[in-house]
A and B are shown apart, each in its own frame.
Chain A
Amino acid sequence: MAEQHRADVIVSCLHGRCPDLIPALQEEIERRGLTTEVEVVESGCRGLCAMGPVILLQPEGIFYTNVQPADVPELVEETLIKGRAVPRLTYKEPLTHKDVCYYEDIPFYNKQMRHVMHKCGMINPESIAEYIALDGYQALAKALTEMSPEEIIAEVKKSGLRGRGGAGFATGRKWESTRQAEGDVRYVVANGDEGDPGAFMNRSLMEGDPHAIIEGMVIGAYAIGAHEGFIYVRDEYPLAVRNLNMAIEQAREYGLLGEDILGTGFDFDIRIVRGAGAFVCGESSALMQSVEGKVGEPRPKHYHATERGLWDKPTALNNVETWANIPLIINNGADWFASVGTERSKGTKTFCLVGQIANTGLIEVPMGITLREIVYDIGGGIPGNGDFKAVQTGGPSGGCIPADQLDLPVDYDSLIEAGSMMGSGGMIVMDNHTCMVDIARYFLDFLKEESCGKCTPCREGIRRMLEILTRITQGEGEMADLDTLEALARTVQNASLCGLGKSAPNPVLSTLHYFRDEYVAHIEEKKCPAGVCKALIEYYIIAENCTGCGLCRRKCPQQAISGEKKEPHVIDLELCIKCGICHDVCKFDAVGVR
Chain B
Amino acid sequence: MVDQHRINEIIDGYGADRMNALAILQDIQREYNYLPRKSLEWTAERLNVPVGEIYRMATFFTSFSLQPKGEYMCKVCMGTACHVLGGPRILEALERELGIKAGETTSDGKFSLEAVRCLGACALGPVMVVNEEPHGYMTPEKATNLIRKIASSDVEKVAAPQPASERASARPTVDLSGVPPAG
Contacts and interface: CB of A to CB of B under 8 A. Distances in A.
A546 B90 CA distance: 26
B22 interface: yes
A362 B118 CA distance: 15
A291 B20 CA distance: 8
Interface of B: 17-23, 25-26, 56-57, 60-64, 78-81, 83-85, 89, 92-93, 96, 117-125, 133-134, 136, 139-141, 159-165, 167, 175-183
Interface of A: 13-19, 22-23, 42, 45, 49-50, 52, 124, 126, 194-200, 203-204, 207, 234-240, 242, 273-279, 290-297, 352, 354-356, 360-362, 392, 395, 426, 428, 430, 434, 439, 442-443, 446, 449-450, 452, 555, 557, 579-581, 584-585
Given A15-B177, A196-B118, A580-B89, 4 more contacts: A197-B79, A197-B118, A360-B183, A392-B80
A548 B57 CA distance: 57
Given A16-B178, A580-B89, A49 B124 contact: yes
A592 to B, nearest CB: 17
Nearest to B140: A581
A49 B162 contact: no
Contact of B26 (A235, A242, A430): A235
Contact of B118 (A52, A198, A242): A198
Contacts of B62: 276-278, 449
B89 A579 contact: yes
A278 B177 contact: no
A287 B160 CA distance: 32
B183 A200 contact: yes
A529 to B, nearest CB: 16
Given A293-B21, A584-B141, A198 B160 contact: no
Contacts of A45: 180-182
A292 B139 CA distance: 42
B161 A199 contact: no
Contact of A555 (B79, B117, B141): B141
A278 B116 CA distance: 12
A533 B128 CA distance: 22
11 contacts: A14-B180, A19-B162, A49-B181, A200-B122, A234-B120, A240-B177, A275-B61, A354-B123, A355-B81, A356-B84, A449-B117
Contacts of B124: 16, 49
Given A19-B161, A200-B122, A579 B140 contact: yes
Contacts of B26: 235, 274, 276
Contacts of B22: 273-276, 290, 293
Interface centre among A13, A23, A354 (most CB of B within 10 A): A354
B61 A276 contact: yes
A146 to B, nearest CB: 35
B164 A42 contact: yes
B122 A15 contact: no
Contacts of A354: 80-81, 122-123, 125, 183
A361 B163 contact: no
Contacts of A194: 120
B177 A238 contact: yes
A278 B63 CA distance: 8
Contacts of A294: 21, 57
Contacts of B123: 49-50, 354, 360-361
Interface centre among B79, B133, B182 (most CB of A within 10 A): B182
